[in-house]
Structure 1
Amino acid sequence: MAESFPMNGGDGSYSYTKNSQYQEGLERGRCGRCEELERGVTGAREWSRWGRERAGGGGGGRRSEGKKTKQATDFAKGTIQEAILEKLDTENLLSVSNTFRIVDFGCSVGPNTFITVQNMIQAVESKCSLQGLDPGAIDFQVFFNDHTANDFNTLFASFPPDRRYYAAAAPGSFHGRIFPRASISLAHSSYALHWLSRVPEGVCDRKSAAWNEGRVHYTGSSEDVVRAYGDQFEKDMGVFLKARADEIVEGGLMVLIMPGIPDGASHSQLLFGVLFNFLGSSLLDLASEGIIDKAKIDEFNLPIYAPSVGEMRKLIEKNGCFSIERIELTNPRSKVDEPIDVHTLIMHLRAGMETVVTKHFGDAVVEKMFHKTLAKSGEISEFLKSSYPKPTQLFLVLKRK
């Protein structure tokens, strides 16, 4: 059974809701082609404005991130909308029923999932207009999927006030079937598939060749450790693709966004790998101060993996149920001139990682670990300057055969 590592729920200082600005920067954006097409779509601009206000204001939001966010978000929204406009045959999919079902796998607690859903609906409506169909006749049904431990109460309480879709929660691990056969027209998952269903076998075992002593992740570790992570990812992705092949209708699309790495590149160059190494060093600092036992660190590894383009292509071809319409590595922040706000990035990391770290080390250690990591912001910033130019966001568009 897959382990559950939900984002921080609620709306507190360390919640994902109030610390998702960084990921939001990889989610939103504008597609010029869609802007021209959406003029006949009722309320589209009001929805986009609501999404911007919701994501940027209130609580722990930082409006100073606005310019960087806008620059960094142009890619993701544009590519998702272009994929739908170019690859989705809405005329065929809507020939039997006017109900169009969308699912966001690994939705967490928002607001990013709402922005993404609106982007997809807007693109589907635009494509319908292109094909001479009435967008207003479509009943959109959107499923928000995440582990049963996800804070769906916070998610549902923050729904857009004027949403144009019927919403439902779909709790359960996406490493397995969630929906009936051939029931989904459009599937999406962003920054969720890099989470493994479990810690790879052997990495916490002193007797194993893959024992990852003194580290919390595979970046910078031995080939045996990297291979153990890769093997677990292969198993998980195989299960994921098989389940989605059963659920998605023929001609339906699946858009996947996750951390990735160029073929043959060193895993130590990954952005999140750099951050995880700093988290690990903070834990080792606590061990040297006698606050925690080093053996406790040796027993802990983050279940996160970033595949290469080649790895993903091989797994998709092995599954055989999807055609690869697009697969590439991108750098959504390549046009951002200002240095990244390391504090914001670490807070985002905390919102996503705190549950799994707390489960092993306890609340007191987590607080000290992130305090020490924040104290290393200057050093982290220098590392990020060298890692950011490299494309490490994997973008895929798959079509059900």
Structure 2
Amino acid sequence: MNVSRTMIEEAIAKKLDVKCFSSNPFRLADLGCSVGPNTFIAMQHIVEAVERRYLAQGLKSEMPEFQVFFNDHVGNDFNTLFASLPTERRYFACGVPGSFHGRLFPESSIHFMFSSHALHWLSKVPEELLDKNSPAWNRGRIHYTSGPEEVSHAYAAQFEHDMEIFLSARAKELVVGGMIVFLILALPNGIPASQNPYGIMFDLLGSCLMDMAKEVRRMIFYFGIRKVNLTSNS
């Protein structure tokens, strides 16, 4: 958050033309907000940067009120999110449940959209990974790093599809002259996926989950056989 803060503030100072905004309040949205506190820190920094932009353009008398929409899946713990809202915040808070892989807001209604470490989550598991007859069947893995090339291609195709839907929806919701800022995980060109720290982490996690699944199957089999034997003896 601290590393990206300066870049976001510079982008707002150089590119956000607040003179073209006539509506009040100034509306912001955090897509994939989770339950805090990172979202509160980010929103406060952005509100302060926008306020400085109004002052820099000589619009102190036109300083708007701010409204922040916190968005995440319907299963997100919004109770925890709103229970921990900063008391000294300079904005009105709203919750918007729903997937950002689709429309969330009315047309031309949001001035600033923000998303941090959320867009790498896909809308669904690529179907090829679940098909035993597909070369992209990802048996025994929860990630693509140690899988065949077809697996990574399936993930990439799903990501491309999701991003097209995401950006199309945001294009309708953003006001003219508005701004979108995304912080997203990425892999530099030329770096093998197997050397990606996140990939290594997910491979380790997947190995643990597979061991747990095998142990559960072993226990079910053991107790199932024992139950049969006990029934036969009785």
| TM-score normalized with structure 1 length | 0.53
Match for residue 249 of structure 1 among 175, 195, 204: 175
Question: Matched residues in 2 for 1:281 and 1:225: separation?
Answer: 17
Within the alignment, does 1:98 sit opposite 2:24 as a pair? yes
**What code does the residue aligned with 1:143 have?**
F
Match for residue 79 of structure 1 among 1, 7, 10: 7
Measured after TM superposition, the shift of residue 141 of structure 1 is: 0.8
Residues 276 and 140 from structure 1, CA distance in 2 versus in 1: closer, same or farther, beyond 3 angstroms?
same
Within the alignment, does 1:159 sit opposite 2:79 as a pair? no
Q: Does the 8 Å contact 2:143/2:202 carry over to 1?
A: yes
Summarize the alignment of residues 196-207 of structure 1 with structure 2, pairs less than 5 Å apart: 196-207=122-133
Counting aligned pairs with the same residue, the percent is: 52
Match for residue 136 of structure 2 among 205, 210, 235: 210
Q: Does the 8 Å contact 2:194/2:200 carry over to 1?
A: yes
Within the alignment, does 1:118 sit opposite 2:44 as a pair? yes
Moved over 4 A (4+): none
Secondary structure, counterpart of 1:77 in structure 2: helix
Q: Does the 8 Å contact 1:125/1:135 carry over to 2?
A: no
RMSD of aligned alpha carbons: 1.6
Secondary structure, counterpart of 2:127 in structure 1: coil
Question: Matched residues in 1 for 2:8 and 2:216: separation?
Answer: 45
Q: Does the 8 Å contact 2:26/2:111 carry over to 1?
A: yes
Match of 2:204 in 1: 278
Within the alignment, does 1:292 sit opposite 2:220 as a pair? no
Q: Does the 8 Å contact 1:128/1:135 carry over to 2?
A: no
Match for residue 229 of structure 1 among 155, 160, 184: 155
Secondary structure, counterpart of 2:99 in structure 1: coil
Within the alignment, does 1:131 sit opposite 2:54 as a pair? no
Match of 1:391 in 2: none
Q: Does the 8 Å contact 1:143/1:167 carry over to 2?
A: yes
Q: Does the 8 Å contact 2:130/2:138 carry over to 1?
A: yes
Deviations 1:44-101 (A, max 9, x none): xxxxxxxxxxxxxxxxxxxxxxxxxxxxxxx1111111111111111222xx223210
Measured after TM superposition, the shift of residue 263 of structure 1 is: 2.4
Question: Matched residues in 2 for 1:97 and 1:286: separation?
Answer: 55
Q: Does the 8 Å contact 2:9/2:49 carry over to 1?
A: yes
Question: Matched residues in 2 for 1:292 and 1:236: separation?
Answer: 34
Question: Matched residues in 2 for 1:143 and 1:117: separation?
Answer: 10
Measured after TM superposition, the shift of residue 136 of structure 1 is: 7.6
Match of 2:166 in 1: 240
Question: Matched residues in 2 for 1:282 and 1:229: separation?
Answer: 22
**What code does the residue aligned with 1:89 have?**
D
Secondary structure, counterpart of 1:107 in structure 2: coil
Question: Matched residues in 2 for 1:137 and 1:257: separation?
Answer: 27
Q: Does the 8 Å contact 2:109/2:173 carry over to 1?
A: yes
Measured after TM superposition, the shift of residue 293 of structure 1 is: 4.2
| TM-score normalized with structure 2 length | 0.89
Measured after TM superposition, the shift of residue 272 of structure 1 is: 1.5
Larger radius of gyration: 2
Question: Matched residues in 1 for 2:155 and 2:61: separation?
Answer: 44
